[in-house]
Amino acid sequence: MNLDLSEYKKDFPIFQRKVRGGNSLVYLDSAATSQKPTAVIEAESNFYRTINAAVHRGAHLLAEEASDAFEMSRSNVASFIGADSSEVVFTKSATESLNIIAYSLGNPDSRINIKSGDQIVVTEMEHHANLIPWQQLAKRTGASLSWLSFTEDGRIDLSNIKDVINSKTKIVAVTHQSNVFGTILPIDEISKAARAVGALVVLDACQSAPHFPINVKELDVDFLAFSGHKTLGPTGIGVLWGKHQLLEKLEPVVFGGSMVDSVTMTGATWASAPRKFEAGVPNMAQAVGLSAAIDYLRSIGLNNIAEYEHELTKYLLEGLASMSGIKVIGPLDLKDRGGVISFTVDGVHPHDVGQVLDQYGIAVRTGHHCAWPLMRKLKIAGTTRASFHLYNNREDIKQLIDGIEKVKSYFKVAK
Amino acid sequence: MNLDLSEYKKDFPIFQRKVRGGNSLVYLDSAATSQKPTAVIEAESNFYRTINAAVHRGAHLLAEEASDAFEMSRSNVASFIGADSSEVVFTKSATESLNIIAYSLGNPDSRINIKSGDQIVVTEMEHHANLIPWQQLAKRTGASLSWLSFTEDGRIDLSNIKDVINSKTKIVAVTHQSNVFGTILPIDEISKAARAVGALVVLDACQSAPHFPINVKELDVDFLAFSGHKTLGPTGIGVLWGKHQLLEKLEPVVFGGSMVDSVTMTGATWASAPRKFEAGVPNMAQAVGLSAAIDYLRSIGLNNIAEYEHELTKYLLEGLASMSGIKVIGPLDLKDRGGVISFTVDGVHPHDVGQVLDQYGIAVRTGHHCAWPLMRKLKIAGTTRASFHLYNNREDIKQLIDGIEKVKSYFKVAK
Amino acid sequence: MELDSLYQEVILDHYRSPHHKGLSDDKDIQVHHNNPSCGDEITLNLKVQEGKVSDISWDGVGCSISMASASVMSDLLIGKTFREANVIFEAFMELMQSKGRSDGDESLLEDGVAFAGVSKFPARIKCALLSWMAFKDAAIQVME
Amino acid sequence: MELDSLYQEVILDHYRSPHHKGLSDDKDIQVHHNNPSCGDEITLNLKVQEGKVSDISWDGVGCSISMASASVMSDLLIGKTFREANVIFEAFMELMQSKGRSDGDESLLEDGVAFAGVSKFPARIKCALLSWMAFKDAAIQVME
Ligand SMILES: Cc1ncc(COP(=O)(O)O)c(C=O)c1O
Ligand SMILES: Cc1ncc(COP(=O)(O)O)c(C=O)c1O
C-alpha cells in the first residue's frame, strides 16, 4: 500500500472493544455511520464541561463563549465545503436538511417555489432521504416527479438527460455518491443540464463530504446536505448549505425562538439566513463536535483519505472478483468510485451473510440500504455492503474475504 | 433549609471553572438551558466509545446494541412522563416537537386535521416555539388564532375561557409553566374546557418536565413536548409525546430512511408511530444521554427537586421584596409557581443589569425570553430572569441579591 | 458455535425445501407483508373452511429465518381450528420473546422449536415473525 | 474594573441625557430597527438637504449602550455630507470589530471613541450598532 493511515486507527476508542465471540471489531459499515475519534468525543463533552449555555441569547460569559464556539464551528464547516458562513445551516441530519429545502420550496411565500405543473427530477438510485421529500413536495404542490435511471453496472444513465431535465424542470436533486453502488455521479454534467433549463441543483453529499474534498463553488450546485455522524462527527447534527441569495429568498420551515426579527400575537418576521432556519436552542455541543471532526479530517487530508480508501476499494474488488458465486452490485472498475462495495452471495440471503460475518466480528450492512426503488429495479431483495473510512486497513478486507468463504461453507454453497 | 441537595452540585463539572474576574460560576439561567452532570456527559461519550452504530438497520452486534440502547432510552423517557414507549418520538428539540404536531395537523391527509374556519387557541404568555408554529398553521390552513390573556401578576386569565375556547376550537396549545413569570398553569381547567368542545390539548412542558413530576395521563392532554437540554440532558434532543391512537392518525412530517413501510419511485407508505416520525439516522447518543439525565433526576427524586427549588424561589422572592426599585414580573406569592423569577430594576435596562451581574460571575438571562408578545402587553422591553435547578443554593441567591445592589450603585440608581 | 443455535439444521432444511410455497388459486384472502428494515416480503393466501385453517400457501423473498418460518408455520397451522391456531401463535410469540431462556413446547410447536435460538438475536426476531404476522392479519381480516 | 471599559462615563452621560431623542416631524424617511435577541428597538427619522445629513432624530427603548450610541451617532452625523458620514460609519464599524485592540480615531469619532471597550464584549457590539444600522438603512433608502 502506498499510503499508510494505520497510525490513526488508535484514535478511535471503539476499536478497543471485543465483539461477538471475543473477536476484534472489523467495522465495514461507515456508509451507515462512521466511528468517532477521541478528539470529537472530547470536543462534545468539553462543551458541556466548560462553556455550556444557550447561544445567541446571552448576556453572560458562558453564553458568549458558547455562541463563539458555535459560530466558529459554522465557519469551519463553511470552509470545509468552500462556502461562506452565512450559507451554512445546522440541522439535525442530512435528512432534515433535505426536508427543509423541500418544505421551503413548497411554501408559496418563498420567492422561489414549486407550483403545479413544475417538474422535480431525482435519480433512481437515491437514498429515501433524497426521494420521499421530493415525492411529498410534488404531491403537495401538484408538481410531477421524474428520474434519471442507471445502467447495469450502477452508473447514472445520462442517455436521456435532455428529455428528463426539460423546460418544466425546476429542481434536480441527486446524490453525489451512491450509498449502494459506490458510484460517484458526474455532477458537472447534471448541473449543466439543470442550468440549461434554469433548474436548481440539490446535492446529497452524505457519502461524499466525509470521504473526499468537495467545494460547493466548483460543484456549481445550489443546495447541499450532509450528516455529521458519517463525517466522524456526533450524531444529531447535519448540515444544509445553500447559496446565500437563495436562502434569503426562502421562507423558514421550523418556527420558534432565535429565528425571528419581530413577533406579535398575530404574526412574525424572520431573521436573515442562516439564523431563520435554526429555531430553538440549537444542537450546540454537536456542532462543536462536528467542527472537531472536520479539523481531524483535514489534519489527515481529505485527498489522502480518498486515495487510501481508493486502494482499499481496489483490494476488495480484486478479492471479490477472485471468488465464485459473488456478484458485485455496482461498478467493477475504479473509475469515479468510492469506498462502498455492495455484493450478493449466490444462494445466501444478505441477512444471513451479515449474520455469519457478525459472528466473526465483521460488521457490514445488509438489505436495501434505504434505496428500495434501486433494489426493485435490479429485482433483488438487497445486498451485503462493505464501506470504508480511514480507520480500515487491508487486514479488515482479508477478514471480510475469509468471512465470505465461511458464509459459503456454512450455507453449503458450491465452491 | 429543610432539604439539602448541595451534595449534587459536585456532579456538574462546569462548576469547577472560574468565570469573568476569577469568580466562581453562579449559574441562574437554567430556564434557557441546564448544566449537565458527569453521568450524562459520559453516557453520551460512552455510546460513541463502545456501541456506536446506526440503529434499526443492522445485522451486526453494534447495531443491535445501539438499537437496544436507543429503545431503552425511549422506554425510560416514556416512564418518566407516564406514557407508553410507542408514544414517545425523539426529535431534535421541543421546538421541533411542536412544529411536527403543527405540520402534521395541517396535512389534509392526516385523519385529524385543521381546516379553514377552525380555531387554534394559545395563551399570550407562550414562548415563540409554542406560538409561531400555530400562527403559521393558521395561515396555511385558513384557521384563526385566538388566545387566553394573563392577569397583572402573570397568571393565566380564565375569566373568558368559555368564549375563547369555543365550538370552533380544534387545538388548545399552552405552556405548562411560563418561562417568564414562572407561573404553573391550571392545565386541568384548560383541558376541561378543551374537552368540552372536543379540542386537542398540546402541552409545552419545557419548563415543567425538568423540574417536577409530570404524568401525561393525569394531565389529560393529547400531545406534549420538552427539551433534553433543559432536563440535564444533551443538546440536540427533544421529546414529542402523543397519544398512540392520535399519532397513528397523523401523517409524518420529516421524510427519509427508517420511517417507511414500503417505497417505490412514485410513492411511499409509513411505518407505525413512533418510527414514522423519526426519519434518518437518529440522534442516538443524545437519546442515551437524555436517558441518563432522567435516571439522574429520578435518583434524586423530582418531588425533592421541586420542593428544593420552591424553597430557593421563596428565598429569592423575599430577598427581592426587601429591596427598593425592584419589580417582580410574575406572581409574588408561591402558589403554583416554579423557580423562574423575572424582575426589573428601575432605571437600569435588563441588558445592563445582566452585564454587571456577569462581571461578578452571576449568569442570568435578560431580554424578552422569546416571549415578545408578553413583553409588548406589559409594555416593557424585557426583564432580568433568574432560574434554578437542583445545583443552585442559597449562597447563589445571596450573591444575586448582592449583585443587584452593585448594579444599582454602579448605575447610581437611588437606594 | 453460537451461530448453530440460530441456524438449526431444521431451519436450513425448511429454507432449502420450503413447504406450501407457491400461491394456490384457491383462497379466501390474500395479504402482503414486508419487513421495511431489510426489504423481506411475503404474500400469504389463507383459505378457511368450517372455522378451520383449511389451507395456507405463500410466496416471498427473504432470509433463511423468514422463509423457513413461513414453511414451518404453514405445516403447523393447516388443518387447525382458529382456536388451536391461536394457541400455537401465542406459544411461538412467547418463544420469540424468551431471549434464549425457553426451549419451546415441542408438542405444540413441532419444528417451530428450532427457532428457540432466534430469540437470542433481537434483529432476527422480526424475520421469524414476518409470516406469522401475515397470518394473523389474514385471520383477522377473514373474520370480519 | 473591566466593566468600566464598557460603561465609560461618556456613555452613561449620553444614556442619561440622550441627544436628538424624540422624533421630529420634519423627515424624509423613517426606519424602524430592532435587535431580535434582546428586543431593543429604535425608530430613526432622517432628513436630507443638498447631499447632507441635515437632521437625525430618534426614539427607542434599549440598554445604555444602544441608546448612548444613538445619541453619539446623531451628534456625529448631523451636518455631515453623506461621504463624510460614511467615513465615520466605517471608522465606527472598524472600532467595533477591534476586539479591544483599537482606541479609535478621536478626531473622527469624538465621543464615539468611548465605545472602544464595547468591542471586547461580543454580545454588546450589536447594541452599539443598532442605531448605526438604522442610519445606514435610512441613508440607502433615501438615495434610491
Ligand atoms: C416554555 C418554552 N417553550 C419552548 C422552548 C423551546 O425549547 P427548545 O429551544 O429547546 O426547542 C423553551 C426554551 O427555549 C421554553 O422555555
Ligand atoms: C446517500 C444518503 N443520503 C442521505 C442519507 C441520510 O442521512 P441521515 O440518516 O444522516 O439523515 C444517507 C444515510 O443514511 C445516505 O447514505
- Locate the chain C residue with the closest alpha carbon to B258: C37
Specify the pLDDT at position A415: 56
Last residue of a domain, one of A270, A298, A326: A298
How many domains are there within chain A?
2
Beta bridge partners, A173, equal A202
C121/B261 Cβ within 8 A: no
Mutation for testing the D interface, residue in B355, B358, B412 having most D CBs under 10 Å? B355
Determine contact: A45 vs chain B, CB below 8 A.
yes
Asked whether residue B205 falls in the same domain as residue B321, the answer is no
Determine contact: A243 vs chain B, CB below 8 A.
no
D63/B410 Cβ within 8 A: no
pLDDT tens digit string along B318-337? 999 999 999 999 999 999 99
**DSSP assigned state of C119:** G
B128/A268 Cβ within 8 A: yes
Ligand 1 nearest atom to the CA of residue A258, by list position: 9
Mutation for testing the C interface, residue in B261, B270, B278, B281 having most C CBs under 10 Å? B261
Residue A328 and residue A179 in contact, taking contact as beta carbons nearer than 8 Å: no
- Look at residue A1 and tell me if it is in a domain: no
Residue C124 and residue C6 in contact, taking contact as beta carbons nearer than 8 Å: yes
Nearest CA to ligand 2 atom 12: A206
Pairing assessment for the beta strands A119-123 and A88-91 based on DSSP bridges: unpaired
How many domains are there within chain C?
1
Contact residues of C toward A, CB < 8 A: 1-3, 6-7, 12, 37-41, 61-65, 121, 124, 127
Place of cell 382456536: C83
CA distances from B219 to B86, B190, B192, B203 (A): 19, 10, 10, 9
The Å distance, Cα D126 to ligand 1 centre, comes to 24
Name the residue among B215, B1, B202, B219 with its Cα closest to residue B103. B202
Q: What is the least distance, in Å, from the CA of B63 to any CA of chain C? A: 9
Asked whether residue B187 falls in the same domain as residue B57, the answer is yes
Determine contact: A49 vs chain B, CB below 8 A.
yes
D127/B368 Cβ within 8 A: no
CB-based contacts of B53: which residues, under 8 Å, 6+ apart?
A29, A32, A33, A363, B60, B62, B63, B65, B66
Residue C41 belongs to domain spanning: 3-143
pLDDT tens digit string along A248-288? 999 999 999 999 999 999 999 999 999 999 999 999 999 99
With touching defined as 3 or more inter-chain CB pairs under 8 Å, the answer for chains D and B is yes
Asked whether residue B18 falls in the same domain as residue B63, the answer is no
At D7, the pLDDT band (50, 70, 90 cuts) reads very high
State yes or no: pLDDT of A413 exceeds 90: no
Asked whether residue B221 falls in the same domain as residue B145, the answer is yes
pLDDT tens digit string along B398-414? 999 999 999 999 998 86
Determine contact: B132 vs chain A, CB below 8 A.
yes
State yes or no: pLDDT of B33 exceeds 80: yes
Asked whether residue A337 falls in the same domain as residue A271, the answer is no
Task: Assess whether the C-beta atom of B222 lies below 6 angstroms from ligand 1.
Answer: no
At D1, the pLDDT band (50, 70, 90 cuts) reads low
Q: What is the least distance, in Å, from the CA of D80 to any CA of chain B? A: 31
B63/C37 Cβ within 8 A: no
Asked whether residue B236 falls in the same domain as residue B258, the answer is yes
- Does A370 participate in catalysis according to the annotation? yes
The Å distance, Cα A165 to ligand 2 centre, comes to 24
* Residue A270 exposure: Cα atoms within 13 Å on the Cβ side: 21
Last residue of a domain, one of A263, A279, A298: A298
The Å distance, Cα D64 to ligand 1 centre, comes to 28
Q: What is the least distance, in Å, from the CA of D92 to any CA of chain B? A: 21
Specify the pLDDT at position A36: 98
B17/A283 Cβ within 8 A: no
Residue B372 belongs to domain spanning: 6-30+301-411
Specify the pLDDT at position B374: 98
Q: Write the CATH number for B96.
A: 3.40.640.10
Q: Write the CATH number for D58.
A: 3.90.1010.10
Specify the pLDDT at position B415: 57
Q: Which of A196, A370, A378, A381 is catalytic?
A: A370
List the chains bordering chain B where 3 or more Cβ pairs fall under 8 Å: A, C, D
Asked whether residue A106 falls in the same domain as residue A242, the answer is yes
Specify the pLDDT at position D144: 81
Specify the pLDDT at position C115: 97
Cα-trace Rg, chain D: 14
Burial class of residue A16, CB neighbours in 10 A (0-12, 13-18, 19+): exposed
* Residues of B whose CB is below 8 A from D64: 349, 352, 411
Averaged pLDDT, B117-132 = 98
Asked whether residue B287 falls in the same domain as residue B322, the answer is no
Place of cell 386537542: B200
Last residue of a domain, one of B276, B298, B320: B298
With touching defined as 3 or more inter-chain CB pairs under 8 Å, the answer for chains C and D is no
Least confident piece of the model among A154-168, A326-340, B143-157, C29-43: C29-43
Nearest CA to ligand 1 atom 13: B32
- Contact pairs from chain A to chain C, CB under 8 Å: 47
Q: Which of B184, B187, B370, B371 is catalytic?
A: B370
Q: Assess: ipTM above 0.85.
A: yes
Mean pLDDT of chain A: 97
Asked whether residue A73 falls in the same domain as residue A58, the answer is yes
C106: left (phi over 0), alpha (psi -120 to 50) or beta: alpha
* Residues of C whose CB is below 8 A from A356: 3
Averaged pLDDT, B118-128 = 98
- Locate the chain A residue with the closest alpha carbon to D33: A261
Specify the pLDDT at position C39: 83
Measured between alpha carbons, how far is A335 from A250 in angstroms, rounded to an integer?
38
State yes or no: pLDDT of A79 exceeds 70: yes
Asked whether residue B59 falls in the same domain as residue B142, the answer is yes
Q: Could you say which residues of chain C have pLDDT below 70?
A: 1
Mutation for testing the B interface, residue in A60, A109, A113 having most B CBs under 10 Å? A60
State yes or no: pLDDT of A44 exceeds 90: yes
First to last CA, chain C: 46
At B56, the pLDDT band (50, 70, 90 cuts) reads confident
Task: Assess whether the C-beta atom of B178 lies below 6 angstroms from ligand 1.
Answer: no
D123/A262 Cβ within 8 A: no
Task: Give the ranges where B235-382 is alpha helix by DSSP (H).
Answer: 244-249, 284-300, 302-321, 350-359, 372-378
CA angle B299, B304, B309 (to 5 degrees): 125
pLDDT tens digit string along A158-209? 999 999 999 999 999 999 999 999 999 999 999 999 999 999 999 999 999 9
CA distances from B359 to A63, B349, D9 (A): 13, 16, 18
Determine contact: A23 vs chain C, CB below 8 A.
no
Asked whether residue A203 falls in the same domain as residue A289, the answer is yes
* Residues of A whose CB is below 8 A from D121: 64
- Locate the chain A residue with the closest alpha carbon to C121: A355
Averaged pLDDT, B210-224 = 97
D3/B410 Cβ within 8 A: yes
A282/B256 Cβ within 8 A: no
- Locate the chain B residue with the closest alpha carbon to A281: B93
Averaged pLDDT, A327-356 = 96
Asked whether residue A268 falls in the same domain as residue A324, the answer is no
B410/D39 Cβ within 8 A: no
Contact residues of D toward A, CB < 8 A: 34, 36-38, 121-123
Taking each helix axis as running N to C, give the angle between helix C64-77 and helix C122-143, from 0 to 180 degrees, rounded to the nearest 10.
40
- Look at residue A35 and tell me if it is in a domain: no
At A296, the pLDDT band (50, 70, 90 cuts) reads very high
Residue B94 and residue B206 in contact, taking contact as beta carbons nearer than 8 Å: yes
